[in-house]
Amino acid sequence: MLQIKNPKFEISVMNKSQYPKNRMPQIVLAGKSNVGKSSFVNCLINRKSLARTSSEPGKTRQINFYNMDDIFYFVDLPGYGYSKMSKAEQQKLGPAIETFLKNSKNINLIILLVDIRHKPSENDKMMMEFIKSTGNRYIVVTSKADKIAKTKVQSYVDDIAKELDVAEDLIFAFSSETKFNKELISDVIAESLLTAKTWDEE
Ligand code: GTP
Ligand code: MG
């Protein structure tokens, strides 16, 4: 169980030079624009709007660090695949995400969110491959599970697992509306923090 007493927004960054210099473990949220990354953070910490959300895709445009009781960060990444963003901005997002995932030394777990209702896009598949290539631990969360019938959730999850080539114990259905699987995913995060890289390990 994650019990966060005092979750705080700490910093929004774009470039490597701006990443926090401390060694707190990072739980990173990745996924397409509008998939529910910021809502996921808010749901897990029981806050309505610490992480900013919107029904308009492209709300999160920088890499946002949320400090959880000085124990770990939730790192809310900008969504990829947002077509309405200006060309210049789109061109910056992909590399900023990749640079972060490649270079941050304190990533403890990467959570890739995909919408349970849709077959993973080419971008989702590319992101999954990229995440695997970084060698970090990861899980996949299929968001918006409230949007489909309960009896169908498992088969949708199974299909997505197959498409992304993810082991079944690494994929979880989730809804920030109904809080479905909130406790289970909190436990997975808490567990990953128990085995965070120690501070002297490089
Ligand atoms: P970007 O910042 O653009 O990358 O988007 P995001 O991935 O952070 O998505 P955000 O959390 O802002 O949510 C986008 C929209 O989806 C909002 O209107 C949310 O209310 C809605 N949403 C998020 N999670 C869920 C969910 O579990 N169920 C339902 N029904 N809606 C959700
Ligand atoms: Mg967001």
**Cβ(94) – ligand 1 distance below 6 Å:** no
**Cβ(34) – ligand 1 distance below 6 Å:** yes
Give residue limits of the domains in the chain: 7-192
Give the closest residue (by CA) to ligand 1 atom 17.
55
* pLDDT > 70? residue 121: yes
Question: What is 7-192's CATH superfamily?
Answer: P-loop containing nucleotide triphosphate hydrolases (3.40.50.300)
pLDDT for 61 = 77
Percentage of the chain modeled with pLDDT above 90: 75
What ligand has the least distance to the C-alpha of 176? 1
Give the closest residue (by CA) to ligand 1 atom 14.
34
Across 15-29, 40-54, 83-97, 183-197, least confident range: 83-97
Ligand 2 centre to CA of 93 (Å) is: 13
Question: 155 Cβ partners below 8 Å, 6+ apart?
Answer: none
pLDDT for 166 = 98
E strand or H helix at 198, and its extent?
none
Confidence of residue 19 (pLDDT cuts 50, 70, 90): very high
Ligand 2 centre to CA of 7 (Å) is: 17
Q: What is the DSSP string of 39-108?
A: HHHHHHTT-SSSS---SSS----SEEEEEETTTEEEEEPPPB--TTS-HHHHHHHHHHHHHHHHH-TTEE
Confidence of residue 142 (pLDDT cuts 50, 70, 90): very high
